[in-house]
């Protein structure tokens, strides 16, 4: 009986450790919720724009399904890695529920458009797309991110 209690405690501690580790590793993904009033995540420097991306335009369009796109224009020689697009729908009490995620987005050219037509049929509500990617130019990296919110009626 004592061995069973010890095994149960060890199992419990292992599960707690795994959950805490997962939460720490997912912390960058949770940064999607840190959005300023103009629907952008501020770049980590004083400039109002990024050094390597000249424009970032995320969009959501509604038809029989939901389409998401992100258009990025960058300076010559810029490549992109580690991109993530998250589509969320506003649930009650002001919380956003994730309904689709695309990850590991990479492009080896300075201008690109990411597009995907989901199989999600829109229902009345507020939707938000957020986009984060690392721009690389001459070995230097910067995080490029932006979001947009749209209402489907």
Classified as helix, coil or strand, 96 is strand
Mean pLDDT of 83-99: 86
In which band, very low, low, confident or very high, does the pLDDT at 95 lie, cut at 50, 70 and 90? confident
The residue behind tokens 């987005």 is: 105
27-55 in b/e form (b: 16+ CB < 10 A) is eeeeebeebeeeebbebeeeeeebbbbee
Query: For the segment 58-82, what is each residue's pLDDT rounded down to a tens digit?
Result: 999 999 999 999 999 999 999 999 9
Classified as helix, coil or strand, 82 is strand
At residue 5, the pLDDT reads 61
């Amino acid at each position: 009986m004592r061995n069973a209690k010890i095994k149960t405690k060890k199992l419990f501690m292992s599960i707690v450790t795994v959950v805490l580790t997962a939460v720490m590793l997912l912390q960058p993904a949770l940064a999607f919720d840190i959005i300023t009033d103009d629907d952008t995540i501020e770049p980590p420097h004083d400039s109002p724009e990024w050094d390597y991306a000249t424009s970032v335009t995320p969009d959501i369009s509604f038809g029989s399904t939901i389409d998401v796109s992100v258009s990025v224009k960058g300076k010559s020689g810029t490549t992109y890695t580690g991109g993530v697009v998250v589509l969320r729908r506003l649930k009650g009490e002001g919380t956003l529920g994730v309904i689709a995620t695309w990850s590991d987005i990479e492009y080896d050219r300075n201008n690109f458009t990411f597009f995907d037509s989901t199989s999600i049929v829109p229902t009345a509500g507020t939707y938000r797309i957020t986009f984060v990617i690392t721009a690389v130019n001459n070995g230097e990296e910067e995080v490029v991110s932006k979001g947009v919110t749209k209402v489907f009626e």
